[in-house]
Amino acid sequence: MSEFDLLSLLTALAEGQSLPSGAQQFLGERLLNDQPRARAFGVTPATLEDHLQQRTALLRSAYPSFRVLVERALHIKAPLLLPLWDLWLPLAMQIAAARQQVQPRGLGLGVLGGQGTGKTTLGAVLTLLLARQNLRTVSLSIDDFYTTYHHRTELKQRDPRYERRGPPGTHTVNLGLQALEALRHSQADSLTWVPRFDKTAHRGHGDRFAWVNLQPELLLRGQISAAHLHLKEMVFKQQSLSLPESMGEPVPLSYSPAFGFPPGVFQVSLLPSGEALWELGETQTPLKLPIAQLPSGWDLVSGAVDVVVLEGWFVGARPVAPSGLEAAPPPILTPEDRDFAQTVNTALHDYLPLWQCLDRQLVLYVSDYTLSKQWRREAEQKAIATGKGGMTDAEIDAFVEYFWRALHPELFIKPLTQNPDLADLVIEIQADHSPGRVYQPGEEL
């Protein structure tokens, strides 16, 4: 099998070139020799030929767009043909098959993964590959369901242990449940609000966006007062729609240097050029601004959705028995630590209805969970090198250990990799952030 250079072979395959004699056999043997991965993707000697044909067809269809995505959107310079072939293509094929089993409704897909595990890349690539199979994907993060800034401020006053957003207890579960259910059961004439969260608001404490992302045939109207943009009305395809009831605080004019707007009414729409057209009262000349200068906001999803992805650092995690926290690993050391862990464990029960909306569960698993500190340090060092602020090593330790005390990876994440009733697929993430072994939960490797 060593006579072929795999990367050269995959490049030729992606570009539609003829393969040398024995290349197909080489690819097939390589696939079957990784038995856990083959079982995870349902590949057997009997299905191998058909599977390779489908994988190759999808590769050739998606490869030009994939290269653009990697280089321009994800800004990744390293060649990603190997993870594309070994992981993302068969995973997208498997998800498409699972969607067929639940139609006419959409498929709910949970993705558990912490910072640095590649959730963003995975989500972008899957969206592309599923689109090539005529499937529409909408992705949400558990972060999109955070409670408002004022609610979390009140929570911290009642319980100072909730010093950061993130753990169970800091989300509006019903908001997420409404969005997931509406998307899974959406139809051709459906209009569904998807909440989004602004992590930069209130000096980094965060709040829900009080804005709506522009799209064709969407018109936003509002009032400029007290140096803020107050949304009042929305018109979509000439139909007046109610704004979401649970938005955050209005967008400050200081959001953009271009927002030197006088007080008064405004309306804004999207031009065919991709610019935003601002109309400010009757006496002001309309103003065109690049769409990038507008705030981000909630998404209005029009029409049916085939795959709904929910990702986050504890998506799919289950509560543990209270006795399991009595001998918890560090940094859960003191009675106060155990009491906080139990409070969060109890709050996790409220998230189970969300997990019930998920037809399939993936786990991006870092077997050495302490790598999260190393990865955080690398991210902070990059931020500092570009002139941005960054945390010290001590601050990083405190930040990461706060989440370990809330939901310790050994207690709440590792069980998903061992129980096929809790998850469908485990993708191990290596120290360099790249995907490694792939297997079904509970398999002996």
Task: Name every residue whose Cβ is closer than 8 Å to that of residue 231 and which is 6 or more positions away in sequence.
Answer: 210, 211, 212, 220, 221, 222, 243, 247, 250
Pairing outcome for strands 425-429 and 360-365 = parallel
Domain identity same for 246 and 370: no
| DSSP code at position 409 | H
Strand residue runs (E) in 156-246: 191-194, 197-198, 207-208, 218-225, 228-236, 239-241
CA dist 143 to 90, 102, 176, Å? 28, 27, 10
Domain identity same for 128 and 167: yes
Whether residue 22 is contained in a domain is answered as no
Residue 116 neighbours by CB distance under 10 Å: 18
Domain identity same for 321 and 434: yes
pLDDT at 445: 57
Q: Identity (one letter) of the amino acid at 371?
A: L
Residue 373, domain CATH: 3.40.50.300
Domain identity same for 351 and 375: yes
Position 1 confidence tier, pLDDT thresholds 50, 70, 90: very low
Distance CA(17)–CA(179), nearest Å, equals: 44
Confidence check: pLDDT of 77 > 90? no
| DSSP code at position 325 | G
State the residue range of the domain holding 251: 210-297
Domain identity same for 319 and 398: yes
Domain identity same for 174 and 323: yes
Burial class (CB within 10 angstroms; exposed 0-12, middle 13-18, buried 19+) of 336: exposed
Domain identity same for 171 and 88: yes
Work out the average pLDDT over 123-152.
Answer: 97
Task: Name every residue whose Cβ is closer than 8 Å to that of residue 335 and which is 6 or more positions away in sequence.
Answer: none
Residue that is last in its domain, among 297, 318, 344: 297
Whether residue 214 is contained in a domain is answered as yes
**352: Cα separation from own chain's centroid:** 19
Residue that is last in its domain, among 297, 325, 360: 297
Domain identity same for 361 and 241: no
Supply the pTM of this predicted model. Answer: 0.94
pLDDT at 75: 81
Position 443 confidence tier, pLDDT thresholds 50, 70, 90: confident
Whether residue 310 is contained in a domain is answered as yes
Whether residue 344 is contained in a domain is answered as yes
Domain identity same for 350 and 271: no
Position 246 confidence tier, pLDDT thresholds 50, 70, 90: confident
Position 282 confidence tier, pLDDT thresholds 50, 70, 90: confident
Domain identity same for 77 and 172: yes
- Computed over every residue of the chain, the mean pLDDT equals 94
* Residue 91 structure tokens: 């995973």
Crossing angle, helix 371-385 and helix 393-406, to 10 degrees? 140
Whether residue 340 is contained in a domain is answered as yes
Number of domains in the chain: 2
Residue 364's nearest CA partner among 283, 441, 291, 435 is 435
Whether residue 64 is contained in a domain is answered as no
- pLDDT for 196-226, tens place per residue? 999 988 888 999 999 999 999 999 999 999 9
Domain identity same for 150 and 223: no
pLDDT at 80: 92
Residue that is last in its domain, among 238, 266, 297: 297
Q: Which of 47-61, 284-298, 361-375, 381-395 has the lowest mean pLDDT?
A: 381-395
pLDDT at 2: 57
Domain identity same for 281 and 312: no
